[in-house]
Amino acid sequence: MQTIDKEKAVSMIEQAEKITFLTGAGVSTASGVPDYRSLSGIYTGIERPEYLLSQTCLLEEPKKFYSFVQTMYHPNAKPNTIHKKMAELEKSKNIWVISQNIDGLHKAAGTQHLVDFHGDLYDCYCTRCGQKVSAKTYLFSDRHDQCGGQIRPNIVLYEEGLKEQAIATSIEAVSKAELIVIVGTSFQVHPFCDLIHYASDTSEILVINESAVQLNREAYFLKEDAVKVFENIV
């Protein structure tokens, strides 16, 4: 992995016409949304957090599931420079954003070519009748007032499979990109990190992250706060 400076990273993004961004929790920390595994992350001090976000917990201990999921909502969070710049680039380039994040901030920034790979916390529905329910309603109660069914966010829980359409669209977006930019993620969660295997031999890969990631091919790496990079993109 070749280390580069901020100017080089900015230049790569400005010059490329077909870009696919692969984003993680680090993209939203500047919006006040904590990541998962850092010292200030939502998993800190929580025993078996993966269980709390599992299908088993949802079905067998719904109160425990609901109590934990409520802590993941940050309804006052706003898109930051990174989200906004990616959405803005869509106006003049062929852009796709494939995100691990479930905070809805890419959508709020106006990104159209977006795959929420793991779903969206703010897309909620009743598991009994299937009716859509607002996140505001869900945060008030996890029981549907019309049928008594359990409400849940449309996110991919542990033990659940990913949506086939999300996988197919993501693979196509990666395979057609001339530049793939990995931003704000340790890139260790499968199958999200496996998307890089579908990059063409001619595409360049740029990693903007606080720590290096493990890839199976050559890439450019910038150890930097992504906000400082995207605020310089014209």
Q: What is the 3-state secondary structure (H, E, C) of 144-184?
A: CCCCCCEEEEEECCECCCCCHHHHHHHHHHHHCCCEEEEEC
14 CB contacts (<8 Å, ≥6 apart)? 233, 234
Question: Which residue out of 113, 118, 144, 197 is catalytically annotated?
Answer: 118
- Residues 6 or more apart whose Cβ sits within 8 Å of residue 75: 135, 136, 139
How many residues are recorded in the chain?
Answer: 234
Q: Check if 118 is active-site.
A: yes
Pairing of strands 151-155, 119-126: antiparallel
Q: For residue 97, what is the enclosing H or E element?
A: strand 94-99
Positions marked catalytic = 118
